[in-house]
Structure 1
Amino acid sequence: MPTNLTQCQDCKDHFPNIGLERLLPVRLGWTGELGTSTLCVNCRRKAYNTYKEPYPPGVDVYVDPTTKIKVLPRITLTEATAQYCLLDGHLESLPYMHVNSLEAVNGDYKVKMFEEKLVLEKARWLYGGDIGIDNARDAFSWQKGGYIELPPVGAVRERRNRIRQMFLQRELFASSKLPAIKRYIESGHGNLREIVKTFAI
């Protein structure tokens, strides 16, 4: 048996020590009470099918405490592929909504917006849980010189979700890279409603 292969503790098959097929440690049980096993992708899928991983904060639907509106976090096709290491084909089976982009120069430009929790679920299944997604990010980072785009977290995610939801209510998409929107998302500067009103004319 080649020394660069490791045996999965569940199915007992052998897999490479590097790349997307490498074995990864999984804490079994709801809180890891059943110990940790080093598992392949398929066995991780089975484990997480039994013990579901919770959604990170700000990924599932919630009521925003600032605006009191219901937020259903959505991301673009570009964000889904970049942040969750998915290909366009992986997203074909997922529902999406079409909205008008505010960056369209001539005429209408439609943007596909996917529910982020469904994108996360697809990536979890494909790579075998959150730990598999992290491994995929490491594996693909070489394509971008060691850099990989990560989903926002904490207050930045909350502000991104908040302003995006307000535009989506108007069936509009405003890129997080637009200066006023980027400033609000990253630092909270600016009047939220005035920003939306200005762009959504």
Structure 2
Amino acid sequence: MRNWPLSELSITTPRLELRHPSLDDLDELADRAAEGVHDAGYMPFTVPWSQGEPAERARSVVQYHFRTWATFAPDDWSLQLAVVHEGRLVGVQGIAGKDFPVTREVESGSWLGRRFQGRGIGTEMRRAVLHLAFAGLGARHAVTTAFEDNHASLAVTKKLGYREDGIALHARDAEPVVTRRFRMRREDWTESPDIKIHNLDRCLPLFGLPASGFSEA
């Protein structure tokens, strides 16, 4: 789409492609959500979108992406990328920023279809958006949060070298539960030469950055 440069944006890693989803991609992602993304009786998300019947989960995925497209602005954006593995849509890796031209801080979040978990895909897709944040957008900090019993997410975070950055309390199923926050500074990030960003330059103004590249000023 000529008037929506993000539609051309993608990141490639040795095993994955992360791309702005097409309408067909959204249909397939909705199918993944309908199949399930976590065990019954456990909620890993602060917003419990994955509850409900399969058709409700599928519809919520499509609606959420439409909302992020409609509200994308330099001072408050959320980029949700479809993750492709061996030709199949397997999940979503998101990255978001508020007042990013000033704060240079991003926050990540993701989900992965349950039958694709345990293969190292979650680590690789997070590494991809960290590359986009630091190498592509000039971020100075990346943060992420997870419930203290979300062991899979915490394992990815620790593997990538984030540092502890505090805790918060949330209500989950009418019970208090601790979320742990982590931070990675640009100087602690290790660049991955096998990760490539495609068609970013025309997208940069949407993030509040110059089209010719980011400025560290």
Which TM-score applies when normalising by structure 2? 0.27
Q: Which has the higher helix share?
A: 1
Say which structure, 1 or 2, has more relative contact order (CA 8 Å, 6+ apart). 2
Higher-Rg structure is: 1
**Greater share of strand:** 2
Task: Give the structure-1-normalised TM-score.
Answer: 0.29
